[in-house]
Structure formats: structure tokens, C-alpha cells
Chains A and B, each alone.
Chain A
């Protein structure tokens, strides 16, 4: 009875990270992600890894920077207010070109907000959060299985492109329990000749740094980084499409909102409404092409979010505002019901 296990999303992240070879976790407790840290605390000592509860989120993210600079797989996790504290470190990580996995199990905000699920850190995750011109890879899992799979994928992508990767989940995804198969036989590792591991007097010093006081040089760094971003946009965009082929209406939703929306799409189809769902899996890069393709036949888009309407801007940009986009939103920790989404679908005048 070993193949499938019943796990919380938070536990699945932690175990998958361990299976992916992560031996360095630095965190600080905050609901609703604390099980990631609790699980790591139990498991890491048994496998010779490091679990460290830092004195603050700021400290934890800087420990990740140090570990990543030394070339090891490192991660941290938090929930919304804690991610705000870590944002300075994320900018430094992007500037230093350091790979690491950052997990955000979102809760309602702003400020201390609440402890119930939310997706209102969409802008923060996809637009930066920290200062400067940069992006993080942002993955949005839609099940406990994907929490595990994307943890592994997140490390691979981060190391391949030398940049931080954020797993953007929410309180529901973190807390819910589902069967999961932890199958990580083939972990891809990436050589890190840039890592600061000591020269042993055999090579030049490696330097990991985000500071450049020569403007032209800093400009060059940024341009090079954005060339890489363009390549990533072309090659690492991920989305799931459900019943979109003949759809007149396209619902766009990620994470827990996509699960609710899928139920609404199935219900609407039973009533003869031609509606489909596009679920962005990578939020940056956003699956613009999937939406643009759908806009060739769809007449209306609906963005379903646990925020006041953040992803809707990317939906409008992706289709160049060529179709009306309406918004179904619940905030503060409330999850929209399938009935609410169904009602919005039925309200569309084609």
C-alpha cells in the first residue's frame, strides 16, 4: 500500500522537495503554510538535511540566497504577509541570478489580512514584488498532485534559467488532502559552474552579486536577462484547456478557482452552453497564445479570481481587448461557488 498516499498540499510540497534533492529549507511559520515547515522539521534531520526556523522571514530568504549561491537546492515557504517580507530577497536573487524555490500559500490581505485562501498576490508574484526589472517563474498548481509535481519542476526551471521560481498556491490547496503519487525517479540536475564553492586555487573567483555601479554594465545585465525572459516566454508557458475547441465563452481561472470553474463549465455544458476553461499553469509566463487562439472563436471571456481582479488584466492584454472580459470575484478568504460562476456564464449575451 505504498504507491498512493493521502497528503495535504503543504506536505506534498515538502516531500516532493526532498525527493527532488532539496536538503536546505529555511522558513518561518505562518498559517496556512506551516505544515511545509513542520514536515521539513520532522524529515530533514532523518536524511542529513537542514531544516532551519529562522528568526524572521527576511532572515530565512537571505539564508536561501546564501545556500543557492553555494550551488545547492534551497527553498523557503510562506504565506502572503511573509512573502512581502521576503520580497527584498527575491529581488536580490533575481539580480544575482540565483535559482531557488519560493512557495507562497496565499491568504487574504492586504496587511495581516486573514488566514483563509486568496489569490490576491497575483500582481505581487507576476509583476515582481521586489524592486527592479525582473520576473520570477510563477507556477500555479491545481491539485495536491500538482503541488508535488510543480515543486520538482520548479527547482528544475529555476536552475535551468538561473532565477527564482515561485509556487503560487492558496490556503485551500495547502490544507486540502488528496491522494498523490510521489514519483520522482528522474530528477534533473543542472551543472552550476558559477557556484561559490571555493576556488581551491584552481580557478578564478566566482562572484555572485547584484551590484553594478557602471550604468552601461547594469543596463547590459538587464538586457541579457530580458533576452532570457523572452526565450522562457516562448518555451516555458504552461496551460490546461478544457472544452475550449468550440467554445463561445472562455472561463479563465487558476488554482482553486479553476477547480470551482471546471464544475461550472460542466454544469453549463449540460444546459447546452458552449463554454470552455483555460487554466493558466504558468502565471509568468502567462499563456497569452492559448487565450489569443481561443479569441479567434470565443466571443466572451470570464476571469474567475479570489482577488478584486488582477489576472483579468493579463486576460485582456492576451486577447488585446478584442472581446469583452467579465469578472467573477470573491475576496477576503471566500471561495466563489460553482453556482456563482455558472450564473456569470449564463448571464453572457452572445
Chain B
């Protein structure tokens, strides 16, 4: 199956959308062609795709981001360049949508154009270790709120269940049943499970498909 030109990533905030968007963009770039990451987050001024600006630039991936992201300016602003998502149809787009339904309002303006072009997928990123998405019922509730706000429906689920730096292979294994139940309740295919790259060897053969996340933000504290 041909890959879709636009991959929209949405979900509860803190589910790992930004990190996955950046990592998927790297993987796609390795396959060739023009790739861009678009930061559509109008909710949270912290932990943005902009954190990975240097790595993205080095890999030849363009970043479409608010000039205020990660700055000291707390404005829910979007860059005009964002229209490249729908206008620049030569570029493969990974769009990082802000958390919850509040974040997905920003997506609404592109909904009609995306539907018309009909070459997008919209992925629900889930983390069963987040308190407000701890079971399939709560997760699907948030999913429906996002769909309503963004005027687009999800097409697949990515399981990114993790406990941050402390995540173990067991934690990921324990999340599979949650992910399967959520995908079933949502009526969507479970596309893959994403894990920190160092956990890939321990989980290979146990979870499929598995995708290792290379880029992680390092912290000084």
C-alpha cells in the first residue's frame, strides 16, 4: 500500500505525538523525497518539534513551526507557512497536532482541503500510562472530542504507551492489551507500537510491528 502524503498525529497531550512525528519524518526521509514536519500545536508552548530543529535541518527535513514556539511568548499563533500542508503537494507532511480537542481546533481549517486531496492518514497516538487515557473507554472519549474539533476522523492507532525514561520492556508488553482494546473500541487498525530504541531488541518478536524511536530529548536535570 502506498504511503499517504500527509500523516496527521493527534491524541491526548503527553501521549508522544511530537516525538513520533519527528521520528516518522526521519524514517520517511530515508526513503527519499521532500519531507516536512509541521507543528500545529496551539496549546502548549513547551516541548515542541522546534526542540529537534537542528537535527531535522541536518537531515534535510523542513520544519514548519510558529516563530513563538519554545520562546517566552505564550501566543496560540500559527505560521502562515502552515498552508504548505495542503498547498505543497510535492512534500510529505508529518503534522503534530496539539493535545486534546483544544489542540485539534487548529486542524479544522485544513479539513476540507485534506478531504478533497484524499491522501492523508490521521493517527491516534495513545499512552495507557497517562491518567486520563488509562482505559479504552476514556481514550475513545478523547478521540471523539478530537475528531469533532478537527472535522476529520482517525484512520489508525499507534501505541506509544510509556513511562518516560523509566519505561521497561515489561511496561510496553503490559500495554499491548490496552492498545488492542482501544483500537477495537475505536474501530481502527493498530498500526504499530513505538518504543525507545534501546528497548527494541528485548521486544522484537514479541510485539509486531515495532518501531524504535531514535530521537529523544535529553534533559539536564
Contacts and interface: CB of A to CB of B under 8 A. Distances in A.
Interface residues of B, number: 28
B178 A179 contact: no
Interface string B183-221: 000000000000000000000000000000000000111
Interface stretch (A94-102, A211-219, A225-233, A333-341): A333-341
A175 B134 contact: no
Interface string B143-171: 00000000000000000011111100001
Contact of A2 (B46, B134, B164, B165): B134
A143 to B, nearest CB: 10
A265 to B, nearest CB: 13
B129 interface: yes
- The interface residues of chain B, by DSSP majority, are classed as loop
Interface in B40-65: 44-47
B174 interface: yes
B14 A15 contact: no
A4 B134 CA distance: 11
Contacts, number: 70
A7 interface: yes
B18 interface: no
Contact of A6 (B45, B130, B220): B130
Contacts of A335: 220-221
A300 interface: no
A337 B178 CA distance: 39
A337 B161 CA distance: 30
Contacts of A2: 134
Contacts of B72: 108, 114-116, 333
A238 interface: no
26 contacts: A1-B134, A1-B174, A1-B175, A4-B171, A5-B130, A5-B131, A5-B134, A5-B163, A6-B130, A6-B162, A7-B14, A31-B74, A39-B132, A115-B73, A115-B74, A116-B72, A172-B221, A175-B46, A176-B221, A177-B164, A178-B164, A179-B163, A179-B166, A256-B221, A333-B72, A335-B221
Interface of A: 1-2, 4-8, 11, 15, 31-32, 39, 42, 108, 114-116, 171-172, 175-179, 256, 259-260, 263, 333, 335, 337-338
